[in-house]
Chains A and B, each alone.
Chain A
Amino acid sequence: RKEVEQDPGPFNVPEGATVAFNCTYSNSASQSFFWYRQDCRKEPKLLMSVYSSGNEDGRFTAQLNRASQYISLLIRDSKLSDSATYLCVVNIMKNYGQNFVFGPGTRLSVLP
């Protein structure tokens, strides 16, 4: 079983739709959680951190369920510019630095 698993995708949705991404992780020692966005042939960029209480940034809402080891990202009123691959990332502290484990990503295409 992979350490971080995501919906395989791709997701093709019309503009204005609401889309949800799901992610599960296997290591209960995971301490920090993130969603990254990666455009084609670009580097991953931080979209938002995910907190236990859930957090929102404009049209984006992230949720964390530690008991179920589950993370979600909801995008409301999707825009053409939201088209990208979304990576779920968990972080486990080590003696030196951190161990970031990346999911394989879910590709989103928002269609006009």
Chain B
Amino acid sequence: DAGITQSPRHKVTETGTPVTLRCHQTENHRYMYWYRQDPGHGLRLIHYSYGVKDTDKGEVSDGYSVSRSKTEDFLLTLESATSSQTSVYFCAITEGTTGNTIYFGEGSWLTVV
């Protein structure tokens, strides 16, 4: 158990509304990641963070923003949700400064209608 909690776990929202997903970790990991997983595409990196206020874009960052104001929290925001953002979102961490094993939260299922 890597001590990762995601909220909400399930959400239905309307097109055009903002949505924020929260990832909370309890073990002071430096690196945190947001992925989305879709059939036929596997897991794709949206954004990642390498420290407080240090974030960078991943492979599919368009339409998403992130913030990390505290070590333990990494927020993913969909500024104006679209149906193409219906997906399952996984937060992840890597352990230590050079840890090369990635651990995932339980996922947040988002449906945009």
Contacts from A to B (Cβ < 8 Å): 31-32, 34, 41-46, 49, 87, 89, 91, 93, 96-100, 102-105
Report Cα–Cα, A93/B31, bound state, in Å. 13
B102 nearest in chain A by CB position:
A100
Residues of B within 8 A of A102 (CB): 42-44
Q: What are 26 A-B residue pairs whose CB atoms fall within 8 Å in the complex?
A: A31-B100, A32-B100, A34-B101, A41-B107, A43-B104, A43-B107, A44-B43, A44-B90, A44-B104, A46-B101, A46-B102, A49-B101, A87-B42, A89-B102, A91-B100, A96-B50, A96-B54, A97-B48, A97-B50, A98-B31, A100-B33, A102-B42, A102-B43, A104-B41, A104-B42, A105-B42
Which residues in chain B, 18-74, are within 8 Å of chain A measured between CB atoms? 31, 33, 40-45, 48, 50, 54, 56
Which residue of the partner chain B has the closest CB to A32? B100
A90 to B57, CA, bound (A): 19
Known contacts A34-B101, A97-B50; decide if A43 and B106 are in contact (CB<8 Å).
yes
How many B residues touch the partner, as a band?
20 to 34
Nearest residue (CB) in A for B48 is A97
Q: Does the CB pair B41–A45 fall under 8 Å?
A: no
**What CA separation (Å) do A99 and B94 show in the bound complex?**
11
* List of 3 A-B pairs having minimum Cβ-Cβ separation, nearest first: A43-B104, A102-B43, A96-B50
Nearest chain B CB to A51's CB is how many angstroms away? 12
Nearest CB in chain B: distance from A50 CB, A = 12
Known contacts A32-B100, A97-B31, A98-B94; is-contact A43 B42 (Cβ 8 Å)? no
Give B38 Cβ to nearest chain A Cβ, in Å: 10
Distance in angstroms between the alpha carbons of A103 and B44 in the assembled complex = 10
Verify B106–A42 contact, CB threshold 8 A: yes
Which of A93, A97, A98 is most buried by chain B, counting CB atoms within 10 A of its CB?
A97
Which residue of B has the minimal Cβ distance to A100? B102
Q: How far is the CB of B90 from chain A (nearest CB, A)?
A: 6
A46 to B93, CA, bound (A): 13
